[in-house]
Amino acid sequence: MSRVRTFVGIDIDKPIRDRLVSLQTNLGRAGVEVKWVEAHNLHLTLLFLGEVDERQLIDVCRAVAGACAARPAFPLSVETVGCFPNPRRPRVLWAGVGAGAEEVVALHAALEPPLLALGCYRKEDRLYTPHFTLGRVKSEDAPTDALAALLVKKASWHAGEMQVREVLVMSSEMSSKGPEYVVLSRAKLAPS
């Protein structure tokens, strides 16, 4: 029985991807060692399913398609920059969602029940917060004052707006170069 590391997410268009990469470069000037997300892997995760039995993937794709067909397409803006858990101890650097955040949260909520019913998703304890992971700070002991100051300066950063028309079911395979993502299915949202 083969298992596939799987997640459900939203892809981004090239102009926004390019601005996110530029932001990564800018934040990299703070001198903190960060494992940056590769440009082609930047996306917004709706749900991380983890290891899914290969035989269940078709049911996962159908469940996602069914949940998405009932939701209208929507505009999404990528803006603001921050970190988890806080600027004094940044672990994950992210770009946020402005317009469309409510729709993303509603989409996440619509996807949970059918995937929970399939038994291939475990509800997370923390509240879902839509964001684009930019990178992970490598050292817990590194001085991060310059990075924290840069995050404050970039708080009103804005990458632009795009139309979300589909949701992707993706596999993630680890390689020596990092994760390799493959689109397993595309679930169309209803025309807005």
Selecting among 40, 108, 131, 158, the annotated active-site residue is 131
Surface-to-core class of residue 68, CB atoms within 10 Å of its CB (0-12 exposed, 13-18 middle, 19+ buried): buried
What is the C-alpha separation between 149 and 32, in angstroms, rounded? 12
Q: What would the two tokens of residue 35 be?
A: 């494992």
Residue 43 annotated to the active site: yes
DSSP 18: H
Q: Active-site residue among 40, 43, 108, 158?
A: 43
Sign, CA torsion 110/115/121/123: positive
Asked whether the beta carbons of 169 and 184 are under 8 A apart, the reply is yes
Q: Give the CA dihedral 47, 132, 158, 77, nearest 10 degrees.
A: -20
Q: Is 158 designated active site? A: no
Separation between Cα atoms, residue 165 and residue 103, nearest integer Å: 12
Which residues have a catalytic role annotated?
43, 131
